């Protein structure tokens, strides 16, 4: 009985960790894309192509919203894990 309880707790904890790791990996990808976007926008600005500044800022804002959402998701998961005593 005790073993079963331990297994269930362990599996739940693993599920939380998988979810958090997934969010972290996605967050890292979004930040890398955003880094590329900033570099491309700066390069375009310096070479005089000013039309790309607005779409660059809009996409960068969307990516930031994505990373913020993932951060809130991770915090919520962590709070749930703490509440359940993992």
Partner 1 sequence: MKQAHQSESEPLWKDEFSIESAHETIVNRRQFTKFLTLTSLGMFVGNLWILSKTWFDKQSLFPKTVIAKADEVPIGAVKLFRYPTEADPCIMVRTSQDQFVAYSQKCTHLSCPVHYSQKTGQIECPCHEGSFSLHTGEVLKGPPPRPLPRIVLEKKDGLLLAIGIDIQNE
Residues that bind partner 1 in the complex, under the rule CB under 8 A: 16-17, 20-21, 23-24, 27-28, 30-31, 34-35, 37-38, 41-42, 45-50, 53-54, 56-57, 60-61, 63-64, 67-68, 70-71, 74-75, 78-79, 81-86
Contact by Cβ (8 Å): 25, 73: no
Q: CA-CA distances (angstroms) from residue 43 to 18, 25, 57? A: 38, 27, 14
Q: CA-CA distances (angstroms) from residue 80 to 10, 53, 75? A: 15, 40, 9
Least Å distance between CB 1 and partner 1?
Answer: 22
User: Cβ closer to partner 1: 4 or 51?
Assistant: 51
């Amino acid at each position: 009985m005790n073993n079963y309880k331990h297994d269930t707790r362990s599996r739940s904890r693993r599920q939380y960790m998988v979810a958090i790791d997934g969010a972290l990996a996605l967050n890292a990808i979004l930040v890398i894309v955003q880094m590329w976007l900033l570099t491309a926008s700066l390069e375009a600005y310096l070479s005089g192509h000013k039309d790309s500044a607005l779409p660059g800022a809009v996409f960068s804002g969307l990516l930031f919203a994505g990373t913020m959402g993932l951060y809130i998701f991770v915090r919520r998961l962590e709070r749930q894990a703490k509440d359940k005593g993992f």
